[in-house]
Amino acid sequence: MNKELIEFVTQLVSNENLLMHEPMKNHTTFRVGGEAEYFVKLPDVQAFCALIKRFSEEGIPFFVLGNGSNILVGDKGIPGFVLDTSAFLTDITVEGERITAQAGALLSKVANTAKAQALAGMEFASGIPGTIGGAIVMNAGAYDGEMAFVVESVTVVDANGVIRTLSNEEMQFGYRTSILKKEAYYVLSTVLKLQTGERAQIEEKMADFAARRREKQPLEYPSAGSTFKRPEGHFAGKLIMDAGLRGFRIGGAQVSEKHCGFVINVGGSSAADIVDLMDEVRERVEKQFGVTLEPEVIRVGDF
């Protein structure tokens, strides 16, 4: 990177918020991945918008990071800049039945804020280890709930650094997708419209979901959650189990014995191990059942 660009970045974020050769395994729930060439802890929305505009204009590669809970970073790392929203862009405010949350706010914290205010609708998200920004991009969901059900509007910045607000309808939510998968928009914040409820009932529902997660999911191992999307008319985990792949392992990557829909890092896994395992699982399931599994995990960087 040229000196003038680096000076531009440091003027916006300060020297201590710009890291070089940052190991991405420290910023993903899979706990694998090479280094980010430059890792930026975004201090505010103004810096976020200015950097998006400059990088887009000059064709500088960048990736916007939340909690790293649904990505797989390549062993060769990420060229250009990683823009981390989880360091400072974490404000959560409540007004009546609406919660406004910045992109880097953890879903669990938003759900707990809703619970504290006796607001129902975010219980499903209490155990998802992601940020609001990432959850909106992929329309995250669990236990018959999803972001599309609670999002009223989303404020984004486009590639020109222009801030705009999109309605729920304009977000084009679908199963694990939204308009943000197609357009160069980056989440700044969202307004969630919830409903007044009974705090005890909300707590009970969240506790039930948490118990189910502990019972059925391999939470003790690094992973990116559900590895594959749900194929129409099937369940990915059952197809993988029926293909005889429970516990199947390549290197440090393994199909979870507890829930076959999860690929886990049992220790010392590389990104290459995980990719090879996912590819083998897809091939065997397609060969045996004629069903093509589509990854839910997003690959980022160089492999």
Q: Which of 189, 223, 226, 269 is catalytic?
A: 226
* Active site (annotated) includes residue 198: no
Residue 219: partners with Cβ closer than 8 Å, 6 or more residues away:
213
* Active site (annotated) includes residue 153: no
How far is it, in rounded angstroms, from Cα 161 to Cα 156?
Answer: 9
From the list 136, 72, 71, the residue with the least C-alpha distance to 107 is: 136
Please count the other Cβ atoms lying within 10 Å of the Cβ belonging to residue 142: 18
How far is it, in rounded angstroms, from Cα 39 to Cα 16?
Answer: 11
* Active site (annotated) includes residue 54: no
Q: Which of 22, 123, 146, 296 is catalytic?
A: 296
From the list 155, 156, 138, the residue with the least C-alpha distance to 147 is: 138
Q: Which of 69, 86, 176, 178 is catalytic?
A: 176
HSE of 77 in the Cβ direction (CA atoms, 13 Å)? 15
Report, as residue numbers or ranges, the catalytic residues: 176, 226, 296
